[in-house]
Amino acid sequence: ATPGKRGGSVGKLAPYRDFLLARVKEKQDITMPELAAALKAQTGIEAAPASLSRFLLRNGFRLKKRP
């Protein structure tokens, strides 16, 4: 038996990539709970703030707090 393919899953947030990235660019200091609420209100999809954070990291966003 050979092992199955690992990793490489697209994830449930991939279809909403444009929506999520547009929200972050629109409001750069948006919190993950606010982003989750916007996603649910617009699409009905529930996502945990941690999932959204990982999604944004995979898409080139980094945490940068400014005073």
Summarised one tens digit per residue, pLDDT across range 34-63 is 999 999 999 999 999 999 999 999 888 886
Q: What is the pLDDT of residue 66?
A: 61
Q: At what angle do helices 17-26 and 49-58 cross, to 10 degrees?
A: 90
Interatomic CA distance for residues 65 and 59, integer angstroms: 18
Are 32 and 21 a contacting pair, CB within 8 Å? no
* Token reading at 48: 């945990």
- The pTM for the full model equals 0.77
